[in-house]
Amino acid sequence: MNQRRWRWVALFAVLSLVLGACGSDDSNDAADDDDDGDTEETVELVQDGSRLDGIIDEGTFVCGVNDAVPGFGFTDEDGNFSGFDIDFCRVIAAAVLGDAEAVEYRPLAAADRFTALQSGEIDVLSRNTTWTATRDGSEGAAFTVPTFYDGQGMMVRTGEYESIDDMGGTSICVLSGTTTELNLASRFNAAGLEYEPLSFEDNDLLRESFISGQCDGWTSDKSQLAAVRSAYPEGDGGPEALTILDETFSKEPLGPAVADGDPAWYDAVNWAIIATIQAEEFGITSENIDDFLDSENPEILRFLGQAAGEDDAVLDPGLGLPADFAYQVVSQVGNYAEIYERNVGPDTALGLERGLNALYTDGGILYPPPYR
């Protein structure tokens, strides 16, 4: 009997060894295939150098994105990531690596995004994230210049209400558990207006009840309201049947973020994004960029990484980016206006006017710092 018991134990031990071996094999394989951070490099990164060096060595970086926000991040029919936020991942790849396609996308849920950033699973978070003090502080994120200024608005049926102050005693549809709900409460309480919030978990449910007339107003980020409005069915009167009120009652500066504590990587990402705005200010597009390579304007030459000025030298601002990074960004992805028009502009499903997101010279607040 004893002997048999020992045989069982031996069998069990052998099996667990085998299983253990299989387990570690698996993870090794996965690590090899994954290859998104060579072992020694990861350690090195933590100790001294910047993430930037590791990314340049590897030739690819991981961008945390959203895959279900109209216009900003989704998957198209052919399985490619597409959208405004996705294009800014490509901008960073073009600037740092010279190849806009050298991005590994990692779709993230809203709740996981800062954990993923802190744990180093992603290098950049480009997922329509609002820049707030708490996120900058305790969430450990460092936000670059905003790429999109959004704000909360109110949509009503055309002609029913002119402004939010008329809306006392109405019922308002809102997504539950969002800052949108809180902003709504503060706006109405500040004005001393009574209202009844109808909370929904899901945009489609909300849409159905708005159409059926259960609520008088629908509040959300203006970009999302515009998307709904432009697709409003013709049978119900088409987009003209809905009006988005002019008032914006929250500030939502959306932009990419990187993890705290890596200034070199932060600067590289930040200036890659600034380059798209600067290119629009200079009037440089992906179509005409090559005409600017022999421009008379030293600022443009400097920006495109050409020798310019009295000493006839190529400017190296010490950002850790190649001298021609702006050229790569604009020629491969486009300037800010091109990215905007392609994804969210008036000709797309979202149909958003530039508004705040125009250059400071056109009445917006995009103001690129000088490149010198």
The residues of the shown chain that bind another protein, judged by CB under 8 A, are 4-5, 7-9, 11-12, 15, 19, 26-27, 30-31, 33-37, 39, 42-43, 46, 67-71, 73-80, 106-109, 112, 115, 119-121, 202, 204, 207-208, 227-233, 348-350
In whole angstroms, the minimum distance from the beta carbon of 203 to another protein comes to: 8
Q: Which helix (H) or strand (E) holds 104?
A: strand 103-107
- In the complex, what is the shortest distance from the CB of residue 84 to another protein, in angstroms, rounded to a whole number? 12
Q: Where are the alpha helices (DSSP H) in the chain?
A: 2-34, 39-47, 51-58, 84-97, 113-118, 133-136, 179-190, 203-211, 222-230, 263-282, 298-303, 325-332, 336-343
Task: Tell me whether residue 207 or residue 251 sits nearer to another protein (CB atom).
Answer: 207
Nearer to another protein, 71 or 334 (CB): 71
For the chain, the distance separating the N- and C-terminal CA atoms, rounded to the nearest angstrom, is 85
Min. distance of Cβ 133 from another protein in angstroms?
24
Q: How far is the CB of 77 from another protein (least distance, A)?
A: 5
Min separation Cβ 234 and another protein, Å: 11
Token digits for 176?
């539950």
How do strand 103-107 and strand 61-65 relate by DSSP bridges?
parallel
CB 218 within 8 A of CB 175: no
Packing angle of the helix pair 336-343, 263-282 (nearest 10 deg): 90
Count the alpha carbons within 13 Å of 316 in the hemisphere toward its beta carbon: 5
Cβ proximity of 50 and 90 under 8 Å: no
Instruction: Give the nearer residue to another protein in terms of CB position, either 42 or 130.
Output: 42
CB of 259 to another protein, least distance (A): 13
270-285 per-residue burial string, b: 16 or more CB within 10 A, e: under 16: bbbbbbbbbbbbbebb
